[in-house]
Structure 1
Amino acid sequence: MYDDILVPTDGSPAATAAIDHAISLAKTYDATVHALYVVDASAFSSIEAGSELVIDALEEEGQHAVEEITAAAEAAGIDVVTHVVSGTAYRRILDYVDDEGIDLIVMGTHGRSGVERFLLGSVTERVVRTADVPVLTIRQGGKDEGEDGE
């Protein structure tokens, strides 16, 4: 059913929450996990001095994020492919799906709602609305989602 499963990551706890689900599915279907980190430098395009340092730092962060997925997949005996690319996150995710023949996307969601989601946008929401393959969203657990009564 699933041969290639994509786990887009930004290194956040929400993205990390999706890793175990993707690996479990990959084990079940003997699938390859693809770890993808997108460096979205557009937010830093207005910075004249030091933008290259910011991009380098983001690329390094991306390497750490995909290495986390690599370690988890290899520990489970799952084949893994990693990529760190630049561009607009949701567009690059969708391009990767098309280019690599991805069957399923497993990605975390921060659980934002209302004005916060409207102002910040949501990569996951855009992917869910526009992907041609199934998207499994994993909600980040913990206090950020109101366990403390907020």
Structure 2
Amino acid sequence: MIDIKKILIPTDFSETSQAATQYAVELAKKFGAQLHLLHVIEDPVVYMPMFESYALPPKEDFENFAKTRLDNWILDEDKAGLEISTHWVHGNPFVDILKYSKREEIDLIVVGTHGRSFTAHLLLGSVAEKVVRKASCPVLTVRPKGHQFIHPISDDE
């Protein structure tokens, strides 16, 4: 029997992460699992070259943003009955997702995937793909525009 006690949701606060979060919340409810929300704060110079010529916002601004978003990432009505743990770190997304999952003995990682084109994938790589290939636990990838298994509850149920 599959026993899932800890589910990790790495989030970059995108639409794809929100779709993955919906799956993770439902799985956590079904298995009575603890949810771990993780945001990795990347060095802005990596993805925003314009900061080379402008002053960077203070590190605390990125940390406060991450904390606020993580605290409000799951809707209050979805939080009922769930144990949720939020964390943020500075680093490289795929490396720190893997480190966190090992350290916390995560049973399942639920990650959104952007589904970029082949060319964009070659240039940018894919955090989700790297996590799938290197994680020591199962990984569920979710595309926001893909087939959805979560259906709204009707009034008859």
Partner amino acid for 1:125? E
Looking at secondary structure, tell me which structure has more helix per residue: 1
Amino acid at match of 2:130: R
Inter-partner Cα distance in structure 2 for 1:73 and 1:90: 30
- Report the Cα distance in structure 2 between the residues aligned to 1:73 and 1:81, rounded to whole angstroms: 17
CA RMSD of the aligned region, Å? 2.2
Greater C-alpha radius of gyration = 2
* 2:26 corresponding residue in structure 1: 24
- 2:149 matched residue in structure 1: none
Q: CA deviation at 1:67?
A: 2.1
Following superposition, the deviation at residue 60 of structure 1 comes to 3.4
Change (3 A) 1:23 1:124: same
- Given that 1:15 and 1:107 are in contact with CA atoms closer than 8 Å, whether structure 2 keeps it comes out as yes
Q: Give, in whole Å, the separation in 1 of the partners of 2:58 and 2:80.
A: 34
Q: CA deviation at 1:66?
A: 1.5
Distance in 1, matches of 2:122 and 2:58, equals: 26
> 3-state SS of the aligned residue for 1:36?
strand
Change in Cα spacing, 1:25 to 1:115, as seen in structure 2 (3 Å) is: same
8 A contact 1:105–1:135 mirrored in 2: yes
SS at match of 1:69: coil
Distance in 2 (CA, whole Å) between partners of 1:140 and 1:61 is 24
- CA gap 1:14/1:29 in 2 versus in 1, 3 angstroms: same
Which residues of 2 match residues 57-72 of structure 1 at below 5 A? 57-71=61-75
> Which runs of no fewer than 5 residues in structure 2 stay unpaired?
147-157
Identity %: 38
1:12 aligns with 2:17: no
Normalising by structure 1, report the TM-score: 0.83
1:138 aligns with 2:142: yes
Report the TM-score, using the length of structure 2 for normalisation.
0.80
Structure 1: stretches of 5+ with no match in the other structure: 143-150
Indicate if the aligned counterparts of 1:14 and 1:139 stay in contact, CA closer than 8 A: yes
- Aligned match of 1:147: none
Cα shift at 1:65: 3.2
Aligned residue pairs: how many? 141
Structure 1 segment 1-150 matched on structure 2, within 5 A:
1-41=3-43, 43=46, 47=52, 49-51=54-56, 53=57, 55-71=59-75, 75-141=79-145
Q: Equivalent residue of 1:132, what SS?
A: coil
